[in-house]
Structure 1
Amino acid sequence: MTRDNRLYLAWVVALLATIGSLWFSESRGFIPCVLCWFQRIAMYPLALLLGIAALRGDLTIRAYALPLAAVGWVVALIHNLEDWGVIQSLKVCGVGQTTAGCDVQWPIWGGGALAGLNSILTIPVLALIAFTLIIGLLSWGRRRM
């Protein structure tokens, strides 16, 4: 059993992303779009699996967690490319009764001094950052002693 702080950090990132997404939807009332749901499907198990692996010191979790994080990263990238107007023809999301459209820009930071960050740090950008951090932390090789 080997303790690896990067595994703990990856777990913390996944846990914060999971708690954050639940807070945005359950507390702030933001309705997740279709792509948000797919990102949640990738992130929520990571919070559980990485936590168990970190406590057990199980570095073999990388074989299972990296593909899951990679799928979430690709979905988050597609979501951001749609938001940024790079992808015009592929519109995955539409407005429905149970989901919001992907183009809905929720005010993350509210008003005040941080209001300017709403156009930069959107929820899809935060998801892309979280998946990137998890992939980076899990991919970072260990030195052989």
Structure 2
Amino acid sequence: MASKLSTLPVKVLLKFLCRKWARRHHLLTESGTLYGIAQDNPETTSPEQFRYDACIVLPAHFRIDNHVQEGILLGRLYAVFSVQHTAEAIQHAWQRIFGAIQLSEYQMDNRPILEKYSGDMTMQENCEICDPIKQA
């Protein structure tokens, strides 16, 4: 299943910029979904070169403006972990994620990791880490 996305290429202020644009267009609702997508590995990419996209799922009838780009997020398999969006909680989540995947019949897939914010999560600073996986 594919979702229609609007993408803002940003390195910093992901939530501020995407939320500001989404609020202006009345898209940030309880049923809204935001994604943060790291396009590069932060361990091997310098901060100046690191690419991170801020995205929001759009209604089918929505017409994008010249401030954003449209993209498609294809449905695939992900291991999903709910976490509080703090550096400490995310670091702890990574330990759980890798351990859980190693103990399963799945393995990491070479696709971007997603941070998903939906419904109340966007207001409460919680997110879901969606780690791409494939059958081992």
Same fold (TM over 0.5): no
TM-score by length of 2: 0.23
Structure whose residues are more often strand by fraction: 2
Structure whose residues are more often helix by fraction: 1
TM-score by length of 1: 0.22
Work out which of the two has the higher radius of gyration on C-alpha atoms and give 1 or 2: 1
